[in-house]
Amino acid sequence: MEHQFNRNNPLIMHLDLNSCFATAYQQAYPKTRGKPLCIAAYDSPRGCIIAPSIEAKRLGVKTGMRVMDARYVCKDIIVRMAEYNLVRDIHTRLKKILREYSPSVVPKSIDEAVIDFSDVMTLYKKDLSEVGQDIKARIRNDIGEWISCSIGIGTNRFLAKTAASLKKPDGLEVITWANVRQIYSKLLLVDLCGINTRYQARLNSKGIFTPLQFLDAGMEYLKKEVFHSIVGYHWFKRLRGWEVDEVEFARKSIGQDYALGKKTADQQELAGILMKLCEKMGRRLRRMGYRAQGIHIGILYENYTYWHRARLMNEEMYATQELYRCALLVFNQQPEKKVVSKLSVACYGLTKQTSSQLSFFDEENRKTKLRSVSDALDSINNRYGEFTITPGNMVGMQDVVVDRIAFGGVKEIEDLYLN
């Protein structure tokens, strides 16, 4: 049966907000509507574009371009920096709307969600496409008239995502066993979610050049000849509409990174940035109720060389000071002090916080006191706002490591920003 295409009713819906950051901005500021607009990480010429508006996309502006390149493409493009809290609010409202339709809603990123209708479809007396149209209308009514989305429906997440990408903006497409060959025939290998140039090269080297050839390849061939692993089996099932991606990953690390606006080799300045990264990381660690055992530092230098090191500590870390001390220890192990363009820090070996036994020794008591102070500082920051009280070496760091939305990382949004 698994060798055949999944002929069940398509009950998985993938919803993707079109040009999310840009349309959110256009919703809030109507004077920018209907004009080419791009939202960039920084509005300086070398700033990276994170979301062009639908109008800008039509002119050829793409995500990942630099602002100066976008201006070559379109002289009058409006360049703005994102309003992250606005986008977070839209994400939360979207999730609330979707949960009214099904209890099984999985946000895949800030602008994407997967809704599983398997358990509730009997309650609806209409087709899933009509439910999709309802959702579109609700989004326009409850979030904003300028917000549009593309909806894809399929028997698994992969086909739903593929369907959602077929028509943008404002599309609604369904992929079933009946039309799948026709749809695959119009796509390239790199149009399939999960296949990029390297997998494409691998498939090409085994004589697979189109999604149809990929679909027709046998399971054993994909498993033993192409991917040399279980990945081949997963692709075999995925392409035929069977679910293989319904996996929840547990959190294994908490990290922060920062691409420096002004590249520097000044160790004091870098230590300040490291402190702020550790403070942000520590706040998240404590909020989630974890302690960490290890620290990882990654540094991208100006000459595009990369150095990283991880170290497992003897003791668990909880307070920002503990994290910073260990991070600095690892940071100082760099073989060369070069100009840094990106700095990242992560803690791993996470364990849930449990009450620890009181100790007779001074060192343990000192640590307990430090952690209590850390909790007290967190309470003050919760009450009066983020960074009301900061460590001394974070002075003058207001404009660095600013607020950002991680790609894909949406688990903490409701906890961190809205409650």
Partner 1 sequence: MSEHINEKINVVAVYNRNIKPHPFFPWRIKWQGREYLIKKITFWRKEKQGRDTVHVFYATDGNLDFCLEFNAELLTWTLKQIEDGTPIQ
Name the minimum Å distance from CB 39 to partner 1. Answer: 12
Residue 33 or residue 342: which is nearer to partner 1 going by CB?
33
Q: Which residue has the tokens 């000849």?
A: 225
Residue 77 or residue 330: which is nearer to partner 1 going by CB?
77
Residue 71 or residue 309: which is nearer to partner 1 going by CB?
71
Return the sign of the alpha-carbon dihedral for residues 384, 385, 387, 391: positive
Name the minimum Å distance from CB 134 to partner 1. Answer: 18
Residue 135 or residue 203: which is nearer to partner 1 going by CB?
135
Name the minimum Å distance from CB 86 to partner 1. Answer: 7
Residue 245 or residue 414: which is nearer to partner 1 going by CB?
414
Name the minimum Å distance from CB 260 to partner 1. Answer: 22
- Cβ-in-10-Å burial (0-12, 13-18, 19+) of 309 comes to middle
Name the minimum Å distance from CB 51 to partner 1. Answer: 16
Residues that bind partner 1 in the complex, under the rule CB under 8 A: 27-33, 35, 43, 76-80, 85-86, 89, 142, 144, 381-385, 388, 417-419
Q: Quick check: 209 and 189 in contact, CB under 8 A?
A: yes
351 beta partners: 291
Q: Is the peptide bond between 10 and the residue preceding it cis, with omega within 30 degrees of 0?
A: no
Residue 335 or residue 385: which is nearer to partner 1 going by CB?
385
Name the minimum Å distance from CB 71 to partner 1. Answer: 9
Name the minimum Å distance from CB 93 to partner 1. Answer: 8
Residue 98 or residue 300: which is nearer to partner 1 going by CB?
98
> In whole angstroms, what is the distance from residue 84 CA to residue 21 CA?
8
Residue 89 or residue 134: which is nearer to partner 1 going by CB?
89
Name the minimum Å distance from CB 144 to partner 1. Answer: 6
Q: Quick check: 90 and 24 in contact, CB under 8 A?
A: yes
Residue 13 or residue 377: which is nearer to partner 1 going by CB?
377
Calculate the CA 208 to chain-centre distance: 30
Name the minimum Å distance from CB 109 to partner 1. Answer: 20
